[in-house]
Amino acid sequence: MRDFTAKAMAGPRPVVLSGPSGAGKTTLLNKLLKEYDSVFGRSVSHTTRNPRPGEENGKDYHYVTREVMQTGIQKGDFVESAEFSGNMYGTSKAAVQDVQAKNLICVRVVDMQGVRSIKGTDLRPIYVSIQPPSIAVLEKRLRDRKTESEDDLQKRLKAAKVDMEFSKEPGIFDFLIINDNLEDAYGELKQALLEEITKFKEVNVSS
């Protein structure tokens, strides 16, 4: 894990997880939400892509039409948005507010474009990049998922190479975690967020 430690703030900060498709962001986040269900809450993103097998509307994503999403972006209803492989993705302000209303630290999963968008806002989240140990390992994970066509898989691999380079840019991420072993990576993620978990518990005990 590489620590580009950001300046501490008075209270717990939101968390942004980023990394290429297949790096293990969702798996790590689900483990975090299970262990710290009274601390963290995931904001549910919007997307124009179709649900994958087993995904649920409102839980994994808010599945909407391109027209609905474009209208929301134009109205300023989104914190960040991006387009990949012909599909739009984004985090709405309402989704973030839903998590905050439950008195939880908001965790968002976004791509490179999303990270750059959030950098331009007044939010100061903890930025965590989850990366695979190599492009070969990532390709195997994506193929094992069997959720993409060969064309989509190649697009994801191409984007992943750019993402892996992006993660090395100075000052972009506070933590860089290489997900070679899931339990080790999860231990690093918990350690990265330990300060915010402690702050959150202290604030809620005192209140």
Residues identified as active-site: 52, 145, 156
CA atoms within 13 Å, Cβ hemisphere of 175: 22
Three-state SS sequence of the chain: CEECCCCCCCCCCCEEEECCCCCCHHHHHHHHHHHCCCCEEECCCEECCCCCCCCCECCCEEECCHHHHHHHHHCCCEEEEEEECCEEEEEEHHHHHHHHHCCCEEEEEECHHHHHHHHCCCCCCEEEEEECCCHHHHHHHHHHHCCCCHHHHHHHHHHHHHHHHHCCCCCCCCEEEECCCHHHHHHHHHHHHHHHHHHHHHHHHHC
